[in-house]
Structure 1
Amino acid sequence: MATAQQILQSYFGYDSFRPGQAELVHAVLAGRDTLGIMPTGAGKSLCYQVPALLFDGLTIVISPLISLMKDQVGALHEAGVPAACLHSAMPPAEMYAVLREAEHGGCKLLYVAPERLTAPAFLDFARRVPIAMVTVDEAHCISQWGQDFRPSYLKIADFLAALPVRPRLSAFTATATEAVRADIVQALALRDPFVLTTGFDRPNLYFSVERPSSKAQALLRLLAARAGQSGIIYCSTRRTVEEVCDMLLAKGITATRYHAGLSPEERRRNQEDFLYDRTPVMVATNAFGMGIDKSNVSFVIHYNMPKNMESYYQEAGRAGRDGAAADCILLYSGQDVHTAEFLIERSHEAGEENTDPALQQALLDRDRERLRRMTHYATTTECLRHTILRYFGEDSPLSCGHCGNCDTVFEEIDATVDAQKVLSCVYRLSKRGLHFGRVIVAAVLTGSKSEKITQFRLDTLSTYGIMAEMTLARVRLLIDALLERGLLQSDPDRYHALFLTAAGNALMRGHGELRLRLPREKKAASRTAHGLADTVDEVLFDRLRTLRARLASRAGVPPYVVFSNATLADMAARQPKNRMELLAVRGVGEAKAHRYGEDFLEEIAAYQRENAPFSGKSTK
């Protein structure tokens, strides 16, 4: 009988498991209920796919999105694994054909949407066939405390109870706090589960936050530096998606869009254009991504700040899934907080009428606190990687040396006097019965002559223009720091007007001091075009990418399904000369070596011939 290691090598082309994979695989094979929390790109799928190929019987994988199921099944077919899926977009005849094939042993993994679990036809099928394992993918969807709760996931417990024999259970997710992990265990009734969190760190991802005066100009600059690379730009609303996509197209940048307001046909077409590398840039709301297993995404740019850290890390984690260097950049402005608050309020107003009011308020308070933590990430001067990992309860060094903040030179300054100027401005406005947000307060302090300043006669305040030597951006940065330190507070029900706190009042009156770390200048970043190691021949790497695109087009699959960028990089470094050497390349399994190996070996050989050193001897 084959071993897990042999399955990993033969079907998936890897000679070793990644951190955490072996422990989870062995727990599943030992028959234990299992919960794995692994960051996006860490290889969760292999933790149940490898055991499924060793089990006698069928593995049912519960998955939330059609695109996710289709993507997984397509990749398994390319690896030579018999798999299928059931979803609502399939005609009944096709569904019954899949069930018949599965019943007669024609597939090892069957992907199913949670809505189908309690359908009579599927229940009848599930009671007849031997089910070795039920796997719950994106398991955080079962928790009301998760960022992406889906009521349909609650059908899983009913489905399991209806089976004649309870199979082993496994569940996997990328982002789950301690509370969500406990909720998953309880909701799935996992028995003495083996629970493993492999760590949330993604060392290949570079995190940075920018606070540009013009997001549009900043985005164009970032894309110009990444021309030809594949990336996603996330926006918080459909309208912003349309505006950003139109702007990019007007500037000659090949881009497409994705949001829930488009027709299903256009969403499908735009998604395929991105997956197949016909359109390198996708502009989308958070409706895009959970089902996307595209491995060669080189950057994810958030044009707006998400509502919580869970969503941000999951979306940012769609970059660099192949292990190559990738960028995760957040373009932040104070308006993002207002937009996020509006979306949170609207989502709770649209909640179910029968929801318990106390629970509804608890969920609303939770979402507001998550937004506060997300805003802290966007405004902190601490290491960004440390901030993320601390949020998920993971210890990490105070400085990673590889994020936007660690690459920024900060200076610690005595900000007491400047803080007193800001606090005094807020105080003097309040004495006139006026309360404004950070934009107007900063405008008063820097001596702006805008219409609102003259309309309310704010230029007659004693604090008008007392910080004219500073830029608006610098004053707003200072206001954000005062909010973070609890010296000011903003009222979301009054257009985020600023108010002094007791601590702020004390500092304004000369009690205490304030020291802050503020950015001074950026280090020059040294990043290669592809983020490749020195051992990789970039010219050969580009030739292999071109070959991959041709083969993918011929096979009708996305290029990354043929081989990931990481596999091509390893291939360009090793430059294998025969099938055995090719199988030593990470990510090349038996099925893909048989299907594509000869083409890649020929391309490498041709490249070596063309670049062989000239001996000076005649060939006659």
Structure 2
Amino acid sequence: MEAILKEYFGYDTFRFGQEEIINHVLEGKNALGILPTGSGKSLCYQIPGLMFEGTTLVISPLISLMQDQVDSLKRRGIKAECINSTMSKQELKKVMTSLEEGQLQFLYVAPERFNNEEFRISLKQASVPFIAFDEAHCISKWGHDFRPSYQSIIPDLKALLPDALILAVTATATEEVEENIQELLDINNEAVTKTSVKRENLKLMVNPTYQREQFILSYIKNHQDMSGIIYASTRAEVEKLSDYLHEYKIENVIYHGGLAKKERSLNQEKFVSDQVKIVVATNAFGMGIDKPDIRYIIHFNLTGDLESYYQEIGRAGRDGLDSDCILLSSQRDINLQQFFIDRATASDQYKDHMREKLDQMIQYNKTNKCLSSFIVKYFNQNEYVEECGRCSSCLSENRTEPMTSEARLILNLVKDLDGKLSKEHIIQVMRGEHADNIMSRGLNKEENFGVLDSYRTSEVNHLVEELVMRGYLHYANYRMHLVEKSFDVLNKKVKLYTVPYRKTYNERVDVSTDSSLNEVLYSKLIDTRKNLADRYKLDEDAIFTDQILKEFAKKMPQTKQDMMHIQGVGNYKLKHYCPYFLEDIQEHAGIK
């Protein structure tokens, strides 16, 4: 394995996560690899492919991405081809013959190719021991770039190639996407390799300026001779911004789906080959771009979700050197993204899901907490995070409010009950709430019970979140744990400051302890969700997550109007699922 890595790719050692993924495949397991953008995901299937007898089939979403991969393999003396819609009949026949005769080590295809009966016949005649799904988030209906064709070919593959091993690789998978991919591709938990999405060399910044064009112009002038991508949401915005830069003698090229294929290819080549340093583009640009020295990525508009944003900024700094990722936005961007969702040809349930994703993107844009920690926690709630110390939030001059004494009180509570308290428990104890779940556990007898009784729920939540996002507390599996950094605060080695939060803190809070979580009701709601999931053949979380059911059990909404105020309850769920839960709540409250 190491010999192949050296001989074909010129590397002496594997990057973190690669070897583990390859070993899962070599052990005969279907596997899933979730690695950050630029961390060498393609090697995870190329190396096993070189070790297996026969042809490795790679499912890939874009012609340009496939062609780049094939060209790269051919330069290394590896027999690789791709099939795409631009090929002539003669070219296609030649590749199919090579496939049937076992002359190919790798064949790249788009999922739509499976609609071709001749291809299916050739595939069945070929020796294909291994299948790789590149950009595997496209498989999941909960992914940011869901392609139904990616999912629809899975039964075909299992029928045509029942003995083939499967590897799925992606950089952008939330926990729900990860679970969905595992279910669809029969991947067990032990064959999942997931490394942190954190990129130490990316400096994340949110700039609230209203003068976005002027900011970009000034930034470029201060970073001359550096390569960068400027993303805009629409073709019109791309062309307008490009013209603006040209007016100030800033050379750039544009890239969007409205350009002729020849012009897109030419502009991409100019950027990759350093003939032009700047490309202004829609999200159509970037996938498969093999340019390691992109020093900055600026988003002129808010993206629709954090997965898309992370994938796009992941194209910066692939050489490991420091690079800037700057988000600009306006209120109009939010309206535009909401318009995109409303106009999408998708189910109401899926639209509600996309609205939730947009809401998270808006929170990233508004948060005063570490941006790096925010992204890491979005993709993996159980990962331990520390403040990066270099993002716009960490460097904010607004961190003037002392919070050391409050932090010690919170950490002392966790120290006494390490691993036994949820975030909600901590807030309730610190505020001195006589809720059922606090009283039944005897938490009202804790020394720190009620020491922050003058603080609002949102204010205590802010303090707890600050400690988590800055690495002084670890929140995993809905429980709080002390870490080594906790004792720097407890032993009075550090002083902590935060943004003013007791009067002006406006960031939306997902936690409410206005009423206690009634555990009897919560248990009933869990049962109702399971029955609905069985009836409609859905994942339980697709109906409502545990967190939303906890909100129901706390707030006890007794009308649909009440339920609409709880985050995660959209129109589809309000109509189809909420009546069942309302019935439980009303019965528990003695209304029925």
Q: Relative to structure 2, which stretch is displaced further, 90-99 or 390-399? A: 390-399
Preserved CA contact (<8 Å) 1:160 1:166:
no
Preserved CA contact (<8 Å) 1:308 1:371:
yes
Question: Residues of 1 paired with 2:180 and 2:309: CA distance?
Answer: 21
Instruction: From 488, 508, 515, give the equivalent of 1:484.
Output: 508
The match for 2:460 is none
Q: Pick closer, same or farther for the CA change 1:277–1:368 going to 2, 3 Å.
A: same
Question: Residues of 2 paired with 1:23 and 1:164: CA distance?
Answer: 25
Question: Residues of 1 paired with 2:319 and 2:68: CA distance?
Answer: 16
Instruction: From 3, 12, 17, give the equivalent of 2:14.
Output: 17
Say yes or no: does 1:401 pair with 2:398.
no
Q: CA deviation at 1:107?
A: 2.5
User: Which structure has more RCO (C-alpha within 8 Å, separation ≥ 6)?
Assistant: 1
Instruction: From 37, 41, 46, give the equivalent of 2:43.
Output: 46
Give the letter aligned to residue 167 of structure 2.
S
The match for 2:157 is 160
Preserved CA contact (<8 Å) 2:21 2:33:
yes
Q: Relative to structure 2, which stretch is displaced further, 63-72 or 242-251? A: 242-251
Question: Residues of 1 paired with 2:234 and 2:181: CA distance?
Answer: 30
Preserved CA contact (<8 Å) 2:367 2:507:
no
Q: CA deviation at 1:389?
A: 0.4
The match for 2:357 is 370
Q: Pick closer, same or farther for the CA change 1:324–1:115 going to 2, 3 Å.
A: same
Question: Residues of 2 paired with 1:411 and 1:319: CA distance?
Answer: 29
Q: CA deviation at 1:22?
A: 0.6
Map 1:119-130; keep pairs closer than 5 Å.
Answer: 119-130=116-127
Say yes or no: does 1:200 pair with 2:188.
no
Preserved CA contact (<8 Å) 2:174 2:379:
yes
Preserved CA contact (<8 Å) 1:118 1:155:
no
Stretches of structure 2 that go unaligned for 5 or more consecutive residues are 403-500, 512-592
Q: CA deviation at 1:191?
A: 6.2
Question: Residues of 1 paired with 2:332 and 2:122: CA distance?
Answer: 52
SS of residue paired to 2:399: strand
Q: CA deviation at 1:101?
A: 2.5
Q: Pick closer, same or farther for the CA change 1:397–1:140 going to 2, 3 Å.
A: closer
The match for 2:371 is 384
Instruction: From 58, 63, 74, give the equivalent of 1:61.
Output: 58
Question: Residues of 2 paired with 1:413 and 1:16: CA distance?
Answer: 47
Question: Residues of 2 paired with 1:224 and 1:101: CA distance?
Answer: 52
Question: Residues of 2 paired with 1:76 and 1:61: CA distance?
Answer: 13
Question: Residues of 1 paired with 2:510 and 2:380: CA distance?
Answer: 24
Q: Pick closer, same or farther for the CA change 1:232–1:55 going to 2, 3 Å.
A: same
Question: Residues of 2 paired with 1:42 and 1:365: CA distance?
Answer: 32
Q: Pick closer, same or farther for the CA change 1:192–1:203 going to 2, 3 Å.
A: closer
TM-score by length of 2: 0.66
| Deviations 1:251-278, CA, capped at 9 Å, x for gaps | 1112111112222222222222222222
Preserved CA contact (<8 Å) 1:41 1:323:
no
The match for 2:263 is 266
Say yes or no: does 1:99 pair with 2:96.
yes
Stretches of structure 1 that go unaligned for 5 or more consecutive residues are 352-359, 415-476, 488-620
Q: CA deviation at 1:79?
A: 2.6
Question: Residues of 2 paired with 1:374 and 1:40: CA distance?
Answer: 19
Question: Residues of 1 paired with 2:340 and 2:246: CA distance?
Answer: 28
Q: Pick closer, same or farther for the CA change 1:173–1:151 going to 2, 3 Å.
A: same
The match for 2:172 is 175
Q: Relative to structure 2, which stretch is displaced further, 389-398 or 145-154? A: 389-398
SS of residue paired to 1:43: coil
Question: Residues of 1 paired with 2:313 and 2:53: CA distance?
Answer: 38
The match for 2:585 is none
TM-score by length of 1: 0.63
Q: Pick closer, same or farther for the CA change 1:166–1:253 going to 2, 3 Å.
A: same
Map 1:242-257; keep pairs closer than 5 Å.
Answer: 242-257=239-254
Preserved CA contact (<8 Å) 2:30 2:185:
no
The match for 1:298 is 295
Q: CA deviation at 1:299?
A: 1.3
The match for 1:277 is 274
Q: Relative to structure 2, which stretch is displaced further, 105-114 or 405-414? A: 405-414
Identity among equivalent positions (%) equals 43
Q: CA deviation at 1:479?
A: 12
Question: Residues of 2 paired with 1:324 and 1:10: CA distance?
Answer: 26
Q: What is the number of equivalent residue pairs in this alignment?
A: 412
Q: CA deviation at 1:162?
A: 3.3
Question: Residues of 1 paired with 2:62 and 2:15: CA distance?
Answer: 26
SS of residue paired to 2:42: helix
Question: Residues of 2 paired with 1:10 and 1:322: CA distance?
Answer: 21
Q: Pick closer, same or farther for the CA change 1:164–1:391 going to 2, 3 Å.
A: closer
Give the letter aligned to residue 317 of structure 2.
G
The match for 1:228 is 225
SS of residue paired to 2:87: coil
RMSD of aligned alpha carbons: 2.3
Preserved CA contact (<8 Å) 1:33 1:170:
yes
Say yes or no: does 1:34 pair with 2:21.
no
Q: CA deviation at 1:121?
A: 1.6
Q: CA deviation at 1:153?
A: 0.8
Q: CA deviation at 1:222?
A: 1.4
SS of residue paired to 1:399: coil
Q: Pick closer, same or farther for the CA change 1:481–1:378 going to 2, 3 Å.
A: farther
Preserved CA contact (<8 Å) 1:32 1:193:
no
Question: Residues of 2 paired with 1:332 and 1:184: CA distance?
Answer: 32
- Provide runs of 4+ in structure 1 moved above 6 Å: 477-480
Preserved CA contact (<8 Å) 1:35 1:193:
no
Q: Pick closer, same or farther for the CA change 1:86–1:392 going to 2, 3 Å.
A: same
Q: Pick closer, same or farther for the CA change 1:335–1:74 going to 2, 3 Å.
A: same
Preserved CA contact (<8 Å) 1:118 1:159:
no
Question: Residues of 2 paired with 1:34 and 1:296: CA distance?
Answer: 31
